[in-house]
A and B are shown apart, each in its own frame.
Chain A
Amino acid sequence: MSDLFDIVTSATLYAAAIRLALPIFLAALGETFAERAGLVNVGLEGMMLMGAFGAVLGSDVTGSALAGVAIGLLLAVLVAAVQGFVSINLGGDQIVCGIALNIGALGITAFLVRAIWEGGNAPQVAGFSAFDFPLVANAPFVGVAVFQQGIFVYVALVLALISWWALMKTGWGLRMRGCGEDPLACESLGIPVKRLRWQAMLICGACAGLGGVFLALGQLLTFSDGMSGGRGFIALAVVIIARWSPMLAIPSALLFGAVEAFALRVQSSDLDVPPELMLALPYVATIIVYAIVVGRSNPPAALGRSYVRQ
């Protein structure tokens, strides 16, 4: 039992929680834009996967992690463009399209890994390493827990603030949210629904892609088939748990990061718990938290309904 206590009180657990929450948070942030504009994007998982794959490809070919970020973002945004074209321009079924893109992303990444790399395995690539945040990195507990992270943590925090401001405090954000509540009324007021929805979808692709990029370049430094591991779907739950708010997505995603970090720590400790069952924990937690919160949720009114101007 004292082992368990040690795990829960160690600063490295919280550092890991932040690291593991990050991909989920970024994907959820993107999805918040899409859903606020009235688009359900179930293809989040596929966008993360393409982002992770592009990151490893770019980093491997050029040797620079920054190029990896660029390629990862590009591929994820491409997937978002397909989702955008089908759901915004053609008014096709958004959920079915997302499911197809997830299957496609699984297939395409698996295909390309075998086509590009000798032996059919992605190599270890250059990534982003953690650094000590000036002044506070050596603060007791908090220093290790929060301020010895990679650059992505701070980027994500800034993105969250910008997103909250843009979506909640600007006219652009108000109009975008309007598209998610009543696109017909928006159209009659002269608001360009199509353009705003496209912007939301591309932002969503970029954020989810960044989540995938971080998964690859901030943690594992390589790509493996299906490495997004359902995080895109956990992010869908996070959006609902956070009630479509960019800021609330931070604690919601952290919760799942903490569960995953806890599971990993228990797995590598002396505690006599089957490791496989610990790996199931984040998914169990998703269902439980989702079940507790969902009754009070209030989604955008036009969410997921196709809207094509007649």
Chain B
Amino acid sequence: MTVERFIPALTRGAVALIGTLAVGLVAVLAAGLDPVTTLQAIIDGALGSPYAIRQSLTEAVPVTLTALGVAVAFRAGLFNLGGDGQIYIGALGAVGVSLLFPELAPILLIPFALVVGMFGGLVWGCLAGVLRAKLRLSEIITTIMLNFIAFWIISYLVHGPLKDPGGSGYPLTREIPEAAQLPVFGDLIPSGAVLMLVAAFCVWLLLERTPTGIKIKGTGSSASASRFAGVSMSRVTILVMAIAGALAGLGGAVSLQGDQYKLGDFFSPGWGFDAVAVALIGRGTATGTLITGIAVGALRSGIQSAQGTAEVPSSIAQILLAAAVLFVIVGNAEGAGQLVRRSWARTRGLASE
């Protein structure tokens, strides 16, 4: 990498980070908080103890799994804004299996519920993929509609047929049996975190080491060239949306079996949109998405525990994510690139292009 290309890349990253932190500082000051104690409280809440680390990982898993799926779709040029709907349907599959077969041994029930959850998400993602491939409906619109449809289906179920009759009136399902609950390794590493790492590795393999990955990336960077090379666009579209849905569905199942144990209509606190931001900040790569996802999980968990001590509003996480995505696009933008190149050329005493 030449200096001319390396410096702008480094500047872009630094500017995005500093910009995002500045936005966070403004938000913290606007909330009337002391920045130093707030940051301290968030870091403490995210990483301060083994329990905090476990919570951070737990929070990171559904977002990161969903974001990995968003990343795969993004590389094919598709926007999966339907993470939330896929998470809900995934959790529904997992809760259904767990409550229907409580007598199964954990070794069977846990993977069974996870797989059915994954399949639920896959179906929900596939719907948008098929609508896009066969009818040319924009997945940006259909995934959002499918989110609301999934949400109201779940809401109907947990207010009606699936509502726990013994619960104190809350719209929640019964708690899943212990045999369906995911173990935590050494009281520190939730098994969901292991699944997250495996999923990230699989996505990396798919994108970087398989012919399918080449097709996916080719479709994203130049649709016409791919079509000319004989790649079936509709097959790639349905495939990536199925993968995206399956990963989000797995995220829902893992959160159900490893953290929440009950399904209610506020099951996902907006992981679907967080995941879109995470995948975009991670530039659609498996590693970038994994790292960003874990960081966002830690941030969310840190803010949650800081809410008790320093009253940090949880919406700050969303504001920071939006700001980070904006800075990343600005960094990637053609016009901004021109500006940077021109000023770089000027500082080296060369004439502007």
Partner-B contacts on A (CB < 8 A): 42, 82, 86, 89-93, 95-97, 99-104, 106-108, 110-111, 114-115, 229-230, 233-234, 236-237, 240, 274, 276-277, 279-280, 283-284, 286-287, 290-291, 294-295, 306, 308
Contact = CB atoms under 8 A, between A and B. Distances in A.
Given A100-B322, A103-B322, A286-B145, A86 B330 contact: yes
Given A233-B140, A291-B137, A308-B334, A96 B145 contact: no
22 contacts: A86-B326, A86-B329, A90-B334, A92-B334, A96-B329, A100-B325, A101-B322, A102-B273, A107-B322, A108-B319, A111-B30, A111-B316, A114-B313, A230-B147, A233-B145, A274-B160, A276-B152, A276-B155, A276-B156, A290-B142, A291-B131, A294-B137
Contact of A233 (B141, B315, B323, B325): B141
A114 B315 contact: yes
B321 A103 contact: yes
A92 B276 CA distance: 17
Interface string B251-289: 000000000000000000010011011001000000000
Nearest to B161: A274
A184 to B, nearest CB: 14
Nearest to B322: A104
B18 interface: no
B136 interface: yes
Given A92-B336, A100-B322, A106-B270, A236 B316 contact: no
A236 B141 CA distance: 7
Report the contact-size class of chain B (Cβ under 8 Å from the partner): 35 or more
A110 B147 CA distance: 20
B232 interface: no
9 shortest A-B CB distances, which residue pairs?
A107-B318, A104-B322, A92-B333, A276-B156, A280-B152, A90-B335, A90-B333, A100-B325, A110-B315
Given A42-B140, A274-B160, A286-B141, A96 B149 contact: no
Given A111-B27, A283-B145, A91 B334 contact: yes
Given A99-B277, A102-B273, A110-B313, 13 more contacts: A86-B326, A86-B329, A92-B336, A99-B273, A99-B325, A106-B318, A111-B30, A230-B148, A233-B140, A237-B141, A283-B148, A290-B141, A294-B137
Interface of B: 27, 30-32, 79, 81, 131, 135-138, 140-142, 144-149, 151-153, 155-156, 159-160, 270, 273-274, 276-277, 280, 313, 315-319, 321-323, 325-326, 329-330, 332-336, 338
Contacts of B27: 111
A111 B31 CA distance: 8
Contacts of B147: 230
Contacts of A287: 131, 137, 142, 145-146
Given A82-B326, A287-B131, A111 B313 contact: yes
Contact of B323 (A42, A104, A240, A283): A104
B71 to A, nearest CB: 13
A91 B319 contact: no
Given A96-B329, A276-B159, A308-B334, A103 B318 contact: yes
B315 A99 contact: no
A106 B330 CA distance: 21
Nearest to B74: A96
B237 to A, nearest CB: 15
Contacts of B81: 99
Contacts of A283: 145-146, 148-149, 152
Nearest to B127: A287
A242 to B, nearest CB: 14
Given A99-B81, A107-B317, A294-B137, A277 B329 contact: no
